[in-house]
Structure 1
């Protein structure tokens, strides 16, 4: 098996993309994606502020198929969206639709060009929608890449990022802990700059200056990220 990753960047006009663009704390990743010739189903976990989650849930209900489909805006006529879980900082959404003649979704393009046995993992924040695809080693990636480039119209930019072994897909599928994206960015920067080394290589004040953030904002984001990670780690062992 091998995997490849690509990114779609959306301009204004896509309801789901607009919802993510409106709040940098909103982050989504797929828990499952399943495709057959005439149907598609997926489950996504969204995290972020309550108002951003409400906007995103409404956008998925309005045009959830458009998140993955380059066809006409009404191609997902049998669109079904259901919230499997809601709390102030999380939504788990089921989305499914019946494929029509106008539907050219990314998973269906993969099925058409790579055949069965293809798996997907996705991440979404801001303008960026990242796809990670696990496929058989002998699959013809060039045909799928060409098909996606052909189907992306005005307002969507396609960027083929990398082709690797299956480890890249496994890393993407495991997903990050359910952190708002700005909290994840703060912790990632802290790790990169040595904040968690012993002794520390940078202080919160210095890191906040580098990131052009108030010290109190950075401290809050790091504390919340650390709390989420600790609770997730302890919860897994209970």
Structure 2
């Protein structure tokens, strides 16, 4: 089995959910379950954020012109329905069901065409960045998948490969804390260190750093956040057990 991780960054006005999340930078949506057949897709999503953010996210799902995961740029006459399963002050759980038409395209359906059946999907949506993790057999054509996906998103989004590897790849005993960072994330971290972003007080802010790298501020923020998350998890994973605990195991 292999793991494929990539991000789609929507341009403004191309995806109502992305636009809503961009208005609420601290909110996020992650998938709890996602399944697709040849012409259908159903999923359960868990959103967190402020009450105002969750109200806007709910409205984006319930009242969007077309299904949020459809890559079409206009109404494609698909059948969709969304139900609110839970809504509290800081949590929103949504169930969505979508029956596509010949005009529709989506990441799960394009993946099925090129990577085969039995795929596992995991998603996280923050601001305009929609991160996908797909577990597949490794027998499909990843290049063809990305070629068709880039054609489908057109000018509405940019693609960024984050990782592709065997799901059971063993880690070495050496310092591999940055081995799974994408080249873009590594470049962002390196520039942040070189320009004093991590100094106290900071010598450069995110907007200035984004100017040095010639990338949008939201893109740089996303790359740094993902890189920092990865490094923090690597640190915790590689921390040695206390001696008294390790000797008792």
- The correspondence of residues 59-208 of structure 1 with structure 2, limited to 5 A, is 59-63=60-64, 66-75=67-76, 77-166=78-167
Contact 1:65 1:97 in 2 (8 A): no
Change (3 A) 1:119 1:20: same
Shift of 1:143: 1.2
In the alignment, is the contact (CA less than 8 A) between 1:72 and 1:103 conserved in 2?
no
Structure 1 residue 67 displacement after superposition = 3.0
Which ranges in structure 1 are unaligned for 5 or more consecutive residues? 169-205, 213-238
Q: Secondary structure at the match of 1:7?
A: strand
Inter-CA distance 66–87: structure 2 relative to 1 (3 Å threshold): same
**1:8-29 Cα distance to aligned partner (Å, 9 max, x none):** 1112112111110001110110
Report SS of the residue matched to 2:74: coil
Deviation at 1:47, TM superposition (A): 0.1
RMSD of aligned Cα (Å): 2.2
- Residue by residue, what CA displacement relative to the aligned partner does 1:179-209 show, whole Å, maximum 9, x if unpaired? xxxxxxxxxxxxxxxxxxxxxxxxxxx9985
Q: Structure 2: how far apart are the matches of 1:60 and 1:121? A: 19
Residue in structure 1 matched with residue 8 of structure 2 by the alignment: 8
2:67–2:98 contact (8 Å) kept in structure 1: no
Task: Pick closer, same or farther for the CA change 1:113–1:56 going to 2, 3 Å.
Answer: same
Evaluate the alpha carbon distance shift between residue 81 and residue 62 of structure 1 in structure 2; reply closer, same or farther with a 3 A threshold. Answer: same
Residue segments in structure 2 that go unaligned for 5+ positions in a row: 170-197, 206-249
Instruction: Tell me how many residue pairs correspond in the alignment.
Output: 175
Secondary structure of the residue that 2:79 maps to in structure 1? coil
Does the 8 A contact of 1:117 with 1:135 survive in 2?
yes
TM-score (norm: length of structure 1): 0.68
- Secondary structure in 2 matching 1:68: coil
CA positional deviation for 1:69: 1.8
